[in-house]
Amino acid sequence: MNIGQEILENLKEEITESEYKRYIKQLTYDVKKSTPELAIYYAPNALVVNWIKNKYTEKIAHLFEVKTGSKVTVKITLKNLLDKRKTKKTVEVKQGSSLLNPSHSFSNFMVGGSNQFAYAGVKSASEHPGTTYNPIFIYGGVGLGKTHLMQAAGNVLQNEGKVVIYTTVEQFLNDFIRHVRNKTMERFQEKYRKCDVLLIDDIQFLSGKEGIQEEFFHTFEALKGAGKQIIMTADKHPKKIGGLEARLQSRFEWGLVTDIQPPELETKIAIIEKKCEINKVKLSKEIVNYIATVIDSNVREIEGILSKLHAYSQLMHIEIDLEFTKNVLKDQMNEKRENLTMDTITEIVAKDLNIKPSEIRSKGRSKNIVYARRISIYICRELTQNTMPQLAQYFGMKDHTAISHTIKKINDLIKDDEDFKLKIDELTNKITTAS
Ligand code: ADP
Ligand code: MG
């Protein structure tokens, strides 16, 4: 028996029989590619990979350390890349399409204090297009329902036989370039200036792009002049976008400018219940409430979590209970963290403590620089997969022992000083929700 297999046998004694059969038994150890520092295991599919990563890697690593006396990184990965390729393909199809999503309807949109003005404005435009509020400009953070809401109006009007165009600024720009290249600008103008309703997403991407601003200005004038409804979204208020021609910016404010705020708990709960209904996922009230409190603002994450819950429970024949939900959510957070870099962490810490990121990585010995550097090192160790030598190199420290001293110091401080602990928690929160 190879060492990898032996470790799994040891693990068997620490977990239940059914856990072992369900997950651990599915793992195979790669004798060839594994090294004394790196243990590679394969799992049959992505769901099992995630599940095991989440629940067992630490245990496995610990058993290795006990057995061999050295620290081993445990890597759980897919047996073949087939599943990966499949998921990639579906994503591509989604992104390329500019059609209206039929489930983005008014009845599927939950209204609360955070979005009621935007809702009322868009609803009214869907009933009296081109008259009451024109244009409508909705702004707010990622995943708060801007696209959903604008498409809800689009769906209503399309069903009434109106010609509705939904596009992003990016697609509009690509379309423009293509028509310029093919010398078919009349067709471009015909298409965008003759529709009944224009829904255009992510207006902030017009910033600094003069050519397309000019074209969009004329499109806007033609539509507005003909009493056609225009709805736009952006991540900020028109005044804050910057790099916009004055005439465009002022026109964006002609009609209704309204924001969408992150949903309150009640609205979040209603949204989760709605999504469960649409996706035919059954969750107890307790679990719905739990998800609503854990997800801070981005509603888009809710769908990811529900489909994961659903998929895991189907695959593993498990009832979705609170324990299970907590695990899946943890998994979701970890996935987010995988993309986290040391640059991002130092940037956020530096900004928070009012110094420059370059100072954190310098040899500076002044008190606040050392303080910021220690905190950054600690958080990088917590949130990224970098080794101590990698951290030492990045932060310009002598070697890995300097790093482990720093981490020990911070750990001591956290134990002794409640305020300091709060500071670290706050920064960690900022960093993990930044993306
Ligand atoms: P944005 O365009 O603001 O980034 P989206 O419109 O793409 O956000 O919304 C992200 C996801 O969240 C979509 O699946 C959408 O259906 C859902 N969503 C957001 N707000 C609501 C809401 N109030 N009611 C129901 N679903 C919502
Ligand atoms: Mg959007």
Confidence at residue 86, expressed as pLDDT on a 0 to 100 scale: 41
| Cα–ligand 1 centroid distance for 148 (angstroms) | 5
CATH 3.40.50.300 for the 87-261 domain, yes or no: yes
pLDDT of residue 53: 85
Q: What is the pLDDT of residue 48?
A: 77
What's the 100 CA to ligand 2 centre distance in angstroms? 12
Q: How far is the CA of 238 from the centre of ligand 1 (A)?
A: 21
**For ligand 1, atom 26: residue with the closest CA:** 109
* Per-block mean pLDDT, blocks of 10 residues, the chain (435 long): 92 85 88 90 80 87 88 83 40 44 94 96 97 95 94 96 95 94 95 95 94 96 97 95 95 96 92 90 91 81 84 79 85 74 94 93 92 95 87 93 94 90 82 69
Domain ranges of the chain: 1-84, 87-261, 265-328, 337-434
Give domain 337-434's CATH number out of 2.160.20.10, 3.30.1490.20, 1.10.260.40, 1.10.1750.10.
Answer: 1.10.1750.10
Residue nearest to atom 1 of ligand 1 (CA): 143
Return the pLDDT at 80. 60
pTM of the model: 0.64
Beta strands in 58-178 (DSSP E): 73-78, 136-139, 164-168
Q: What is the pLDDT, as a whole number, of residue 133?
A: 95
pLDDT at site 92: 32
Measured from CB, residues less than 6 Å from any atom of ligand 1 are 108-110, 115, 142-148, 271, 274, 299-300, 303
Where would I find the beta strands (DSSP E) of 33-173? 38-43, 73-78, 136-139, 164-168
Interhelix angle 322-338/300-316, nearest 10 degrees: 120
Which residue's CA is the closest to the ligand 1 atom numbered 5?
A: 145
Ligand 1 centroid to Cα of residue 269, in Å, is 13
Q: Domain 265-328 adopts which CATH fold?
A: Helicase, Ruva Protein; domain 3 (1.10.8)
pLDDT at 434: 67
Q: Pick from 147, 299, 306 the residue to mutate for probing ligand 1's pocket: most ligand atoms within 8 Å of its CB.
A: 299
CA dihedral 203, 206, 211, 215 (to 10 degrees): 10
Cα(150) to centroid of ligand 2, in Å? Answer: 9
CA 306, CA 291: separation in Å to the nearest integer?
10
Q: Which atom of ligand 1 is nearest to the CA of 119?
A: 23
pLDDT confidence of residue 433: 66
Strands 38-43 vs 28-29: parallel, antiparallel or unpaired: antiparallel
The residue with tokens 């208020």 is: 237
User: Topology of domain 1-84, per CATH?
Assistant: GMP Synthetase; Chain A, domain 3 (3.30.300)
State the pLDDT at residue 51. Answer: 81
Ligand 1: atom nearest CA of 150 is 6
